[in-house]
Structure 1
Amino acid sequence: MLQFFRKNDPYLLLFIAAFLIITRVILLIIGLEESTILNSSYLLGTAFNENPGTVISNSISAGPLYTFFSGLLVLLFNSSVVASVIVSAILVFIQAVIFNTTLQRNAAFEDNTYLPGILYAIILSSSKEFLYLSPALMANTFLLLATDKILIHLKFRGSEENILTTGFLLGLGALCYAPYSIFLIFTILIYVVYSGTLVRRYFLMTYGFIFSFLIFWIYYLCFQQGAAFIGNYFSGLFRINVVDGTVLNNILLIFGLPLFLTVLSGAQSFQGAGLTNHQILIQRMMLWMLIFALVILRLDNQMTLLTVQTLAIPLTFFSSQFLLTRAKRWVADLVFLFLATSSITFLFTL
């Protein structure tokens, strides 16, 4: 079965799109219950439309860019469940394409395959909560774009424009989902450890990050809310949340197999045998991303299933690596089938 997905065939993108559409249409026909994220997004959007110059506090760690987009959705579609599900599906598809293209461009695996994109779509279809637009999902788009820029820099020692754009993209991600501010530290760490980046370029990247915030600060400053914007954003940024046992159990249930595959893949491949230097760098970068994603679990205002959407990126990478490096292809086929079946089962049952 995986031989089909190993092909570098653009038509496999249609498979990803069809999978996302079919699962969501079925659930819409069956009927989706009102969710916390949908209600919270509606309240955010409504509050923004009623008072566009007022800084809005929220419990889902949503940044001002997500609040603005929620306001746009409420303005156009009111509290439509369908709109949130459609936008979410489009974002997952776009992210799967960006991630897969980035890995192909950097020759992350020996096989030039669309498997990572397919796995990304499957992993982010493992729960009904993932079907709705959320701050973390929206922020993942900018994180994946920044990841592409980071890998370009690691491979080619990218230009200053690349560095500035990376910081700006990280800032946009943080403006969607506040805990993503920590990925500025992640990027600086990657550059310090794995590249000979000039010191002034760290300041340039930080400037790009801050510049994205300046846009919103100036907007709120026009309404005399500049100080309130800065204070509201950073006041709860590093507040450690309380762990909910039920949520933690659901996280382990849904992400248990990808986490297990990640551990196996890491244990077998981090020796670097048969890998190029750039492939080893990609592995180490994804490991650091996994560590920072785990830290984010405790930085969100409240830990929910939506908080772990950040994990989808490194888990997809290592799960793909595990499947693509199996000498016995029937083993990879069985694991893939089990992963896909369990994800769809969780989607319709949890």
Structure 2
Amino acid sequence: MLTFFRINSIFQVITLLALLLGLKMIYIGSKLPLLTYELEWMLVGEKLNEGLKLYSEVLTQVGPLSSFVYQMIDLWAGKNQFVYETIASVLIFIQTLYFVFITNRRNLFNEKNYIPGLVYLVLINASFDFLKLSPALMANTFVLMALNSTLRQIEKREGVGDDVFEAGLFLGIATLFHLPSFVLLAWAILVLFLYTGINIRQTFMVILAFIMPIFFMYLYFYFNDQAEYFTDIWLFHLSYSFDFSLLGLRDILVTFVLPMALGFFGIIRVLRGHRYNSFQNRSHQLIIISSIFILVSFFVSGQYTPSNMIYIVAPLAFFCAGFFIHGKKMLIPETLFLLFFVTTLFISVSGAKPFLGVSQNGLANFRVIESELKPQYQGKRIFVTGQHIDAYKTNEMATGYLSWSLAKNDFEKPNNYVSLSNIYNNFKKDMPEVIIDGENVIPAIFKNIPELGAKYKASEKGIYVRI
């Protein structure tokens, strides 16, 4: 397989597409598990199409550009998991080809081939949640563009040009999809200082280009009288908790231990390459440095799932490809790649569903399970308190209290006038038919808002039905 992908022709593009479709065929007959954060993305689009305003009425930390994409998809297909995953597959294929373009156009290896694209496609299947249309996956397209722009500046013999602003612009757009992307601005500025003759004016150009798309998005919310919510709920609302569960840590290790081990040996082989010129050596170092900042962006994300580490796929793919490209003889690299391919695919598939008698039950903490609501509560507009939003899979969501980490600021302060006012106004706009109180916060709310409490009766413990 490696020998075939060493050839640089259009047939390799077709083969990569066929390989992607073949990998998708593995899941034919059984859907990928629906994840809670994936359900939240769908609900964001649904609530925006109901006329609620992002961040002021729809409480979520999904980026604005990602939210608008989900809104367009919901307008066309509703909560259709297949459509979301199909769009994700198209995006993955585009990123694969663009990654090949970067490695070949920038001459990161001494030979132009499609092995980096092949390895990238394998690694993007290392975890089944990489195949979801996540904000990080959408942002990754622009992170790759920023990587290409940065490499182009390092490659120039005449010095840094004013088009250096592109790196900041692409990272600014990526940030509007996935907030932790902002960390990579520091990486871009650092490597430009280390490996180019960038001056202060050009540095400010990069920073201003990064700020520009965020500023225009701020203006959009400002002219819709939503600027305060944009900044408080999303822009300046980073997670400061580093809560790694054992299951979450297991998922990360299972996904990345093999690629990182192979990437480590790939780094050794690439850095020992004797035929690389000065630009290539600097580029290889740049990619290594990017991995450090990618890990920082992962930690500030606050949600420690493989999909939030998707930026690391490109550096890993590059050095894993280098491991195979620099392999001696022919049989050994082919054999090792086959083992790598089969093992990675087996880990991914067995994490999603039972496969050949093995099931890892990957991302068990985030899987949406079938709702246990009794039939009389099904088919209603419901509101759920707490992190477990599984009931929204088969029922319509009432109110815009989507993210409990944000909503609890109101519901856990029943004696605060502003919180009570927020709850009353949100309920008035979209009154739930059924309230499922998983956090036991509703009694205190009803006590302090008797007008609201009079509209409901307790049907059973933790469930309130509108009269």
Q: Could you say whether these structures have the same fold, taking a TM-score greater than 0.5 normalized by the shorter chain as the test?
A: yes
In structure 2, the residue matched to 1:261 is 262
Structure-2 separation of matches of 1:86 and 1:296: 27
Q: Deviations over 1:167-189 (max 9, x none)?
A: 11110111111100001111001
Deviation at 1:8, TM superposition (A): 0.5
> RMSD of aligned C-alpha atoms?
1.7
1:233 maps onto 2:201 in alignment: no
Q: Is the 8 A contact 2:270 2:326 kept in 1?
A: no
Per the TM alignment, residue 278 of structure 1 is displaced from its structure 2 partner at its CA by: 1.1
Calculate the TM-score normalised by the size of structure 2. 0.71
Q: What is residue 90 of structure 1 aligned with on the other side?
A: 90
Alignment correspondent of 1:120: 120
Aligned to 2:210, what secondary structure does the other structure show?
helix
Would the alpha carbon gap of residues 37 and 20 (structure 1) be closer, same or farther in structure 2, given more than 3 Å must change?
farther
Q: CA deviation at 1:48?
A: 2.4
Return the letter of the residue paired with 1:249.
R
Distance (whole Å) between structure 2 residues aligned to residue 32 and residue 262 of structure 1: 28
Verify the 8 A CA contact 2:160 2:197 in the aligned structure 1: no
Higher-Rg structure is 2
| Residues 64-106 of structure 1, C-alpha deviations (whole Å, 9 max, x = no match) | 1111111111111101111111111111111111111011011
Q: Describe how 1:144-293 pairs up with structure 2 within 5 A.
A: 144-156=144-156, 157-160=159-162, 162-237=163-238, 239-271=240-272, 273-293=274-294
Q: Which residue of 1 aligns with 2:436?
A: none
Report the secondary structure of 2:198's partner residue: coil
- Give the match for residue 296 of structure 1: 297
Deviations 1:288-321 (A, max 9, x none): 1111111122111210121121110110011011
In 1, Cα distance between equivalents of 2:224 and 2:80: 30
CA-CA distance at 1:240 after TM superposition:
3.9
**Does the 8 A contact of 1:240 with 1:300 survive in 2?**
no
Aligned to 1:140: 140
Query: CA, structure 1 residues 339+37, in 2 after alignment: closer, same or farther (shift >3 Å)?
Result: farther
Q: Who is 2:111 aligned against?
A: 111
**Cα pair 1:63 1:233 within 8 Å, conserved:** yes
Alignment of 1:63-102 (within 5 A): 63-102=63-102
Q: Which residue of 1 aligns with 2:324?
A: 323
Question: Does the 8 Å contact 2:270/2:319 carry over to 1?
Answer: no
Distance 1:57 1:145 in 2: 30
> Which shifted more, 296-305 or 310-319?
296-305
- 1:105 to 1:52, Cα distance in 2 relative to 1, 3 A: farther
Is residue 28–residue 82 contact of structure 1 (8 Å, CA) maintained in 2? no
Paired residues of 2:63 and 2:176 also in contact (CA < 8 A): yes
Return the offset for 1:272: 5.6
1:127-156 deviations in whole A, cap 9, x for unaligned? 221221001111110001111111111111
Q: 1:52 to 1:12 in 2, by over 3 A?
A: farther
Secondary structure of residue in 2 paired with 1:11: helix
Deviation at 1:205, TM superposition (A): 1.1
Pairwise mapping of residues 13-92 of structure 1 onto structure 2 (< 5 A)? Answer: 13-51=13-51, 53-55=53-55, 56-58=58-60, 62-92=62-92
Bigger shift: residues 21-30 or 62-71: 21-30
Q: Per-residue displacement from partner, 1:39-72 (whole Å, max 9, x unpaired)?
A: 01112212322345432443xx531111111111
User: Whose relative contact order is higher, 1 or 2, with alpha carbons under 8 Å and at least 6 apart?
Assistant: 1
**Structure 1: which amino acid aligns with 2:30?**
I
Name the SS for the 2:240 alignment partner: coil
SS of corresponding position for 1:30:
coil
- Return the alpha-carbon distance in structure 2 between the equivalents of residues 129 and 269 of structure 1: 30
The aligned residue for residue 435 of structure 2 is: none
SS of the aligned residue for 1:275 comes to: coil
Structure 1 residues 52 and 104, CA gap change in structure 2 (3 angstroms): farther
How many Å separate the matches in 2 of 1:271 and 1:132? 37
Q: CA deviation at 1:243?
A: 1.1
CA contact (8 A) 2:266 2:321 kept: no
SS in 1 for 2:10: coil
Q: Tell whether the 8 Å contact from 1:119 to 1:320 is kept in structure 2 after alignment.
A: yes
| In 2: Cα distance, 1:236 partner to 1:220 partner | 16
| Cα displacement (A) at 1:121 | 1.1
The 8 Å contact of residues 5 and 114 in structure 1, kept in 2 or not, is answered as yes
- Secondary structure of the corresponding residue to residue 107 of structure 1: coil
Does the C-alpha gap of structure 1 residues 51 and 189 become closer, same or farther in structure 2, counting only changes over 3 Å?
A: farther
Aligned residue pair count: 347
